[in-house]
């Protein structure tokens, strides 16, 4: 046997904390406050304050493995929790502020949260369920609106001021839990996913690659995606690793505020769900003068499929590139990125089609799709099946060992996404398994119909769902939100998409609504549409 081997050096977030201080101390952190002013700090300050937080939590009795929850917007204090809490051995648990108080109480108790760090601006919502958190010991209040911390709580800044700025991280197992995130829970109770130190650091390393999200010290990143959603797609950790200047939007997620922030802070990479970018595209299209976003290198879009018309609209009308990505809470979260391979470039239409897919797997993530019997399907770009994934930052179980049926015996995670995969490995999501339309034995892709409908100039948003049918069991129905002052009817919309689909796939009915219901993470909530309009075809029969 050959002698000599590599050091047994653990991959932990404590290293990222050390790195922001020793290597990237000059890098700026910008946080937008509720009053729209901006706080400017540095990574050196981030390092010191995260160290103080780690020491303060230890002093408060927080031990390794304890859950420290956050209930906060995207800002520097939230980033301090991302680094300081795991570095001292505890687990940072991000609570989704868009959920109902009942769901939040369930999640906080399921996670057994001991401490909560909460923004004062969110106190009215937090106060609705804090009394239900059974084992809550301490509440630290970030006074983002300037008022005093409520009685019985601790002032976050005062707690940090009383703690030592010198922190010596304990020896940590790289496989120990670092972060706890919960799924959106559209069916049943939300489920927890524990991210280990190792998986989080590996994810940051790969996500930073040029053909993945691709951040470097030359970039300025704007995580529009909330820090309470799948660790803001890992972007804060990638920034800490690479020394990327980071700009936080705080509570101001409207298109005008985001465009202003991107232009003034010279953002190069921004990331968010399609609904965010749809609003920004509409704003840019309507702007009387061209907004200078020449600084933006790419906009990462994930969370749900972005229509090709939106990708093309940004490119042709505004010179802005969209990069499609796919992932889930269970994949920590990055799984695939839609980069166009060099040998596939040259034809604009084909390149757009590839950019509108979910892309191919990033390194160390493996993908396959299977039929209802678990048989692996051919990568021919045609046959549809459920996407399964595996890799070093993909969950192997849920917190508390719930949902065992989502994990196969041979080590794959069943995503619930119905997809096609082509010979190049490009994944195209055609539906969620629970939303797929099965009409007379044929599968119909609601996503493809939605993307086609949203290419109509009058359509702002489209959601296609399965409605009951007396003969075909299910048929597609389209829910349409029109752009302001725009007009369209069922016939004009169907004619617009008719050339792209076989007759059996065209929607039987179109309903015009003011707003499409969404989940807490911005995805279309089709179960609500089915509740409201699921009998529309039966009633008309």
Catalytic residue among 351, 366, 443, 509: 443
What one-character DSSP code corresponds to residue 484?
T
- 148: buried, middle or exposed (CB in 10 Å: 19+, 13-18, 0-12)? exposed
Q: Which residues contact 316 (CB under 8 A, 6 or more apart)?
A: none
Any idea how long the chain is?
541
Instruction: Enumerate the β-bridge partners of residue 301.
Output: 272, 324
No. of H helices and E strands in the chain? Answer: 16, 25
Among this protein's residues, is 73 annotated catalytic? no
At 499, list the tokens: 């050339």
- CA–CA separation, 329 and 415 (whole Å): 10
Which residues are CB-neighbours of 280 under 8 A, at least 6 positions away?
Answer: 255, 258, 259
**In angstroms, rounded to a whole number, what is the distance separating the alpha carbons of residues 57 and 85?**
8
Catalytic entry in 102, 321, 438, 495: 438
- Dihedral over Cα of 501, 489, 458, 539: its sign: negative
Active site includes 233?
no
Q: Which of 330, 450, 461, 474 is catalytic?
A: 330
Does residue 236 contact residue 82 with C-beta atoms inside 8 Å? yes
Structure tokens at 56: 């303060």
| Residue 449 token pair | 């119909």
- Say how far residue 110 (Cα) sits from the centre of its chain: 22
CA 279 to CA 254: how far, in whole Å? Answer: 8
Per the residue annotation, which of 32, 94, 183, 519 is the catalytic one? 183
Task: Give dist(CA 310, CA 324) in Å, integer.
Answer: 11
Taking 3-state DSSP, the helix, strand and coil percentages for the chain, each rounded to the nearest 5, stand at 35, 25, 45
C-alpha to C-alpha distance for 301 and 189, rounded to whole angstroms = 27
**Distance in angstroms (rounded) separating the CA atoms of residues 463 and 475:** 14
- Distance set, CA 315 to CA 3, 205, 215, 312, 344 (Å): 55, 29, 21, 5, 18
Task: Give yes or no: 183 in active site.
Answer: yes
Q: Which residues are catalytic?
A: 183, 330, 438, 443
């Amino acid at each position: 046997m050959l002698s000599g081997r590599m050091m047994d050096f653990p991959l932990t977030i404590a290293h990222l904390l050390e790195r922001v201080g020793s290597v990237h101390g000059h890098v700026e952190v910008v946080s937008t406050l509720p009053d729209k002013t901006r706080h400017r700090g540095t990574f050196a300050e981030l390092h010191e304050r995260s160290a103080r937080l780690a020491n303060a939590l230890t002093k408060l009795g927080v031990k390794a493995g304890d859950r420290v929850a956050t209930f906060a917007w995207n800002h520097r204090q939230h980033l301090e929790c991302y680094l300081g809490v795991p570095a001292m051995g505890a687990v940072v648990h991000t609570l989704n502020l868009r959920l109902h108080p009942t769901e939040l109480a369930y999640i906080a108790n399921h996670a057994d949260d001991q401490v909560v760090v909460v923004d004062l601006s969110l106190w009215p919502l937090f106060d609705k369920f804090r009394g239900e958190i059974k084992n809550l010991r301490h509440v630290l209040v970030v006074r983002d609106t300037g008022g005093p911390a409520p009685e019985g709580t601790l002032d976050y800044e005062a707690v940090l001021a009383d703690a030592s700025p010198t922190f010596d991280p304990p020896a940590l197992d790289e496989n120990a839990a670092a972060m706890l995130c919960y799924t959106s829970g559209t069916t049943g109770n939300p489920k927890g996913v524990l991210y280990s130190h190792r998986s989080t650091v590996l994810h940051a390393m790969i996500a930073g690659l040029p053909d993945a999200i691709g951040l470097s010290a030359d970039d300025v990143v704007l995580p529009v995606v909330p820090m309470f959603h799948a660790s803001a797609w890992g972007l804060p950790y990638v920034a800490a690793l690479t020394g990327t200047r980071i700009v936080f939007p705080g509570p101001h997620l409207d298109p005008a505020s985001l465009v202003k922030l991107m232009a003034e802070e010279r953002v190069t990479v921004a990331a968010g769900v399609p609904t965010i970018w749809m609003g920004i595209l509409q704003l840019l299209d309507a702007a009387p003068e061209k907004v200078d976003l020449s600084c933006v290198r790419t906009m990462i879009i994930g969370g749900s499929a972005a229509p090709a018309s939106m990708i093309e609209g940004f490119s042709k009308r505004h010179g802005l590139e969209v990069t499609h990505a796919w992932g889930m809470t269970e994949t920590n979260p990055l799984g695939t990125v839609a980069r166009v391979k060099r040998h596939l470039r040259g034809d604009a239409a084909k390149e757009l089609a590839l950019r509108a897919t979910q892309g191919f797997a990033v390194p160390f993530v493996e993908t396959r799709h299977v039929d209802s019997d678990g048989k692996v399907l051919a990568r021919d770009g045609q046959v549809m099946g459920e996407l399964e994934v595996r890799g070093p930052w993909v969950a192997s179980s849920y917190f508390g060992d719930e949902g065992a049926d989502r994990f196969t015996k041979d080590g794959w995670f069943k995503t619930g996404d119905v997809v096609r995969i082509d010979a190049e490995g490009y994944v195209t999501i055609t539906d969620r398994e629970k939303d797929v339309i099965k009409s007379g034995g044929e599968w119909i892709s609601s996503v493809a119909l939605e993307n086609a409908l949203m290419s109509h100039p009058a359509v702002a948003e489209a959601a296609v769902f399965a409605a009951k049918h007396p003969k075909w069991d299910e048929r597609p129905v389209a829910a349409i939100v029109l752009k302001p002052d725009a007009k369209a009817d069922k016939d004009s919309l169907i004619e617009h998409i008719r050339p792209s689909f076989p007759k059996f796939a065209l929607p039987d009915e179109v309903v015009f609504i003011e707003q499409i219901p969404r989940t807490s993470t911005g995805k279309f909530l089709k179960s609500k549409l089915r509740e409201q309009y699921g009998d529309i075809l039966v009633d008309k029969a």
